[in-house]
Amino acid sequence: MSVAGKTAVITGSNSGIGLGIAKEMAKAGVNVVLNSFTDSEEDHALAEEIGRKHGVTARYIQADMSKADQCRALIEKAGTCDILVNNAGIQHVAPIDEFPVEKWDAIVAINLSSAFHTTAAALPVMRKARWGRVVNIASAHGLTASPYKSAYVAAKHGIVGMTKVVALETAQEPITANAICPGYVLTPLVEAQIPDTMKKYDMDRDEVIKKVMLERQPSKEFATVEQLGGTALFLCSDAAAQITGTTISVDGGWTAL
């Protein structure tokens, strides 16, 4: 069965990985719901452009993934949700004894609790449609840790754990739940850090990428948003119907170290 004609709700998808996944899904004929906490003309124009380019229905629905009721309302407003991609995420870096409480709360809310709320709201919709795919965008930090990223690592390990529970609760239904664990991905957010890091270390772009950013990524190459979109699509394919409750690393060998 092809995924064309299904509907995917992708949280945090007006930039970076979420947008990349939305574009790859639309290219495969999937109708997409884009989301973020903003509600600008550009957000809606982005969805229109994707819809026009790929001949699918593409909508933008504003919802703040730090708020439980808005997470659930996103699924309700989408109306249908065959594929749920929990992607919204933020980061903050600080030693644990200096970690701001409000940053901890925001990271746990956006990177972990939002997926609990959207999944709880989406599963009844998937059950009614007798098909569903939950794809959680975790991280290499869902499987391993780095100093100064306590909230992020805790939330990402948490979402990997929750993925397993969702898989077990849906194991005898035509629904799967998996987590993708990307290493470093060249998103606009990461790209924007390159010039400053070049200055800080007096290095050229290539050195910054290989020696600083990709220090822990053995391939010494970023993963791309297209590769993540392709991985998400694979998890939605018939070939992946028995893949559930697991993680797929897209990290250039990071977690093999």
> Which residues belong to the active site?
152
Stretch that binds ligand NAD, among 21-29, 87-95, 168-176, 230-238 (CB under 6 A): 87-95
Site mask for ligand NAD (CB under 6 A), range 169-208, x = bound: -------------x-xx-xxxx------------------
12 binds ligand NAD (CB under 6 A): yes
Are β-strands 83-86 and 7-10 bridged in parallel, bridged antiparallel, or unpaired? parallel
Q: Which of residues 214-243 bind ligand NAD (CB under 6 A)?
A: none
- Residues in contact with ligand NAD, counted by CB under 6 A, come to a total of 27
Tokens of 18: 């979420």
Min dist CB 174 to ligand NAD, Å, is 26
Min dist CB 149 to ligand NAD, Å, is 10
SS3 state at 239:
helix
Contacts of 97 (CB under 8 A, 6+ apart): none
- As separate numbers, helices (DSSP H) first and strands (DSSP E) second, the chain gives 10, 7
83 binds ligand NAD (CB under 6 A): no
Q: Which of residues 127-146 bind ligand NAD (CB under 6 A)?
A: 137, 139
Would you tell me how many other CB atoms lie within 10 Å of the CB of residue 251? Answer: 24
The C-alpha atoms of residue 89 and residue 133 are separated, in whole angstroms, by 20
Are β-strands 31-36 and 83-86 bridged in parallel, bridged antiparallel, or unpaired? unpaired
Q: Which of residues 13-52 bind ligand NAD (CB under 6 A)?
A: 13-18, 36-37
- Please identify, using beta-carbon distances, which residue of 129 and 213 lies nearer to ligand NAD: 213
- Please identify, using beta-carbon distances, which residue of 109 and 131 lies nearer to ligand NAD: 109
The C-alpha atoms of residue 195 and residue 208 are separated, in whole angstroms, by 9
73 binds ligand NAD (CB under 6 A): no
Q: Taking Cα atoms as reference points, which of 187, 83, 201 lies closest to residue 139?
A: 187
Under 8 Å between Cβ of 218 and 253: yes
- Please identify, using beta-carbon distances, which residue of 45 and 189 lies nearer to ligand NAD: 189
